[in-house]
Amino acid sequence: MITKPKGTYDLLGKEAKKMQYINDVLTAICEKYNYEFIRTPVFESSEVFHRSVGNTSDIVTKETYDFKDRGDRDITLRPEGTAGVVRSYIENKLYGRDIQPVKLYYNEMMYRYERPQAGRLREFNQFGVEVLGCDDPFIDAEVISLAYNIFKLLGLTNIRVNINTLGDDESRSDYKKALVEYFSNYTNDMCEDCQNRLKKNPLRILDCKVDASKTWFKNAPKIDQYLNSDSAKRFSKLQEYLNLLDIEYVVNPSIVRGLDYYSHTVFEIEMLSKNFGSQNVLAAGGRYNNLVKMLGGPSTCGMGFAMGLERIMLALDEEEVKIPINDSIDVYIGYVNEEEKETALYLSQELRLNGFICETDYLNRSLKSQFKSADRFKSKYTIIVNSNDIKNYEVTLKDNKLKEEEKVKINDLVDYLDMHM
RNA sequence: GCGGAAUUGGUGAAGUGGUUAACACGCCGGAUUGUGGCUCCGGUAUGCAUGGGUUCGAUCCCCAUAUUUCGCCCCA
């Protein structure tokens, strides 16, 4: 048997309906916030990701799907959404638009060559938002609240918003320097990973779970001592705005994010439930004021987040959130002989085009099985097409709830159903 | 990239080194000569992930591979 590639999944049945529901919610809320849908290619020039995500991140160093196409071009399947959106923003000169800032959202499959586990796949669906051309913490607050409100709207309650600031370039590089200096004194007591992080990306040490309880770890320098006044002011303004929006959040200095392009505001929304797998970050994002320039555009600031839809599905299951799924139909049409079948075919089209969800039998099964089918479809009405009735231009219509049936003229069917549903 | 667990039909699964692989659900048909949801009866695996090996003989023992799953790393 041919099976799906590792780390992929087939979306079908109830899960598919759930996913569609999530998508409906996302689309609806983005409309209200007036974010514009954007779709970019599944694959990009490798350069797009290598120049943006950064070479200290595993995503680019060992998790991308890279290949050469037949024209010998270096191609990479997108591992995340921001870089492609920014590339498109630059290429289409959206910085020159009459309406600013540019507020975009995407909802696409992403690809990372990783070892799959709970909440982590090789092909996965990320929804995300990017706002380009606004440096005000006003937009930071809006973006964070948008992510937060999506979860609230979906019915998730057991979540927490963590925020932090990485400061501007000056603050961040001062802080990095201080961290390296400080942590260098404790290398012998450090876990192996942290020793690597010290060389590659010292900020990430703050996110370590192994060393977190050690005294030297707790006494490490904090970012707020290194923020210059502008960065500090911006961060407190953001908190003010979040308070105003009534968003519950926690300032968490260990949120540093893995991608190189972040600066100032960073945030994560995590699932708190203990039973949830270790992949508990449902959404994450932050400000990236250097990215547009890094990718060759005019210096433009940006703010955004991404969320993993499969993880949200897991979270909804974990919290046992009831999702409104319509799994019933309006009408089931039963028949037996060929003449009746033709009428059934005609009627099914007629009803569907008039807005009714309609099913019938395709397998020439016994009338008894057709009634069973109608029941399984949870149909509100069952039509029994009968040769004798056809002569009088009518059919038998059964109300499956009241279990009553009556003859209805074929021409009156639509009106009748409109009135009764 | 590293480590642990799993892999029997449409589904949940039991089971044994040796003729026809239990049971249940589901599905199809019949009892009910054109009417469901209950009941009863009957039917329903090209054979136990794939490839090797051990053996007179393997679904059951060994090895490898694949996939699933859980964790580390990383990240949504």
Q: Give me the interface pTM, i.e. the ipTM.
A: 0.83
Nearest nucleotide from residue A373 CA, by C1' atom? B36
Nearest nucleotide from residue A259 CA, by C1' atom? B75
Q: Is the CB of A193 under 7 A from strand B?
A: yes
The percentage of chain A sitting over the pLDDT mark of 70, rounded to a whole number, equals: 98
**C1' (B70) to CA (A253) span, angstroms:** 29
**C1' (B6) to CA (A117) span, angstroms:** 14
- Chain A residues 345-384, Cβ below 7 A from strand B: 365-369, 371-376, 384
- Chain A residues 72-111, Cβ below 7 A from strand B: 80
- In tens, the pLDDT along A238-284 reads 999 999 999 999 999 888 876 778 889 999 999 998 778 788 999 99
Nearest nucleotide from residue A196 CA, by C1' atom? B73
Q: Which residues contact A37 (CB under 8 A, 6 or more apart)?
A: A27, A30, A104, A105, A106, A107
| pLDDT, tens digit only, all 421 positions of chain A | 677 888 998 888 888 889 999 999 999 999 999 999 999 999 999 999 988 876 667 777 778 999 899 999 999 999 999 999 999 999 999 999 999 999 999 999 999 999 898 899 999 999 999 999 999 999 999 999 999 999 999 999 999 999 999 998 888 888 888 888 888 888 878 877 787 787 777 888 887 777 777 788 888 888 888 888 999 999 999 999 999 999 999 999 888 876 778 889 999 999 998 778 788 999 999 999 999 999 999 999 999 999 999 999 999 988 888 888 888 899 999 998 889 999 999 999 999 999 999 999 988 888 888 998 898 888 999 999 999 899 999 999 999 988 888 999 999 999 999 998 8
Location of structure tokens 């960065």: A231
- Chain A residues 260-279, Cβ below 7 A from strand B: 268, 277-279
Which residue's alpha carbon is at the shortest distance from the C1' of B76?
A308
Nearest nucleotide from residue A283 CA, by C1' atom? B76
- Chain A residues 315-344, Cβ below 7 A from strand B: 334-337, 340
- Strand B nucleotides, any atom under 7 Å from protein beta carbons: they are 1-3, 27-30, 32, 34-37, 49, 66-76
Structural domains present in chain A: 13-168+228-318 (3.30.930.10), 331-420 (3.40.50.800)
Nearest nucleotide from residue A387 CA, by C1' atom? B34
CA distance A382 to A370: 10
Beta-bridge partners for A413: none
- Chain A residues 13-52, Cβ below 7 A from strand B: none
Angle at A407 between CA A405 and CA A413, to 5 degrees: 105
- In tens, the pLDDT along A334-370 reads 998 889 999 999 999 999 999 999 999 988 888 888 9
Nearest nucleotide from residue A201 CA, by C1' atom? B74
pLDDT at A146: 98
CA distance A313 to A73: 37
Q: What are phi and psi of A287, to 5 degrees?
A: -95, 140
**C1' (B20) to CA (A6) span, angstroms:** 38
Sign of the four-CA dihedral A36, A111, A200, A196: positive
Q: Is the CB of A387 under 7 A from strand B?
A: yes
Nearest nucleotide from residue A192 CA, by C1' atom? B73
- In tens, the pLDDT along A180-212 reads 888 888 887 887 778 778 777 788 888 777 777
**C1' (B4) to CA (A117) span, angstroms:** 13
Nearest nucleotide from residue A110 CA, by C1' atom? B76
CA atoms within 13 A on the CB side of A289: 16
**C1' (B54) to CA (A179) span, angstroms:** 60
A309-318 helix and A13-32 helix, angle to the nearest 10 degrees: 110
**C1' (B63) to CA (A353) span, angstroms:** 61
Helix (H) or strand (E) holding A333: strand A331-334
